[in-house]
Homo-oligomer: A and B are copies of this chain.
């Protein structure tokens, strides 16, 4: 199974990286850009045949290592392969 963990700063938490990207895009002439949020994505190949169990384990990995759940939220997607 392949699990994709997407980690974003929670709404309300200041995101200086997103802000810098937004300013750079404005500087390049992309005037339509409003708020920008930056996050991480971690793609994990898991030696686990059951999608449900793969999801539970990936969520455990996110809570223990991949995300700082005080300021970040995460989302797990599992696909075969």
A residues lining the B interface (CB < 8 Å): 6, 8, 18, 21, 24-25, 28, 30, 32-48, 57, 60-61, 64-66
Is the CB–CB distance between B42 and A38 below 8 Å?
yes
Q: Are B38 and A44 in contact (CB under 8 A)?
A: no
Q: Which of B21, B32, B41 contacts A39 (CB 8 A)?
A: B41
The residue from B25, B40, B46 contacting A65, defined by CB atoms under 8 A apart: B25
Contact (Cβ within 8 A) B32 A46: yes
Out of B18, B28, B30, B34, name the residue touching A42 (CB < 8 Å). B18
- Output the residue of A28, A39, A48 with the most chain B CB within 10 A: A39
Instruction: Report the minimal beta-carbon distance from A49 to chain B, rounded to whole angstroms.
Output: 10
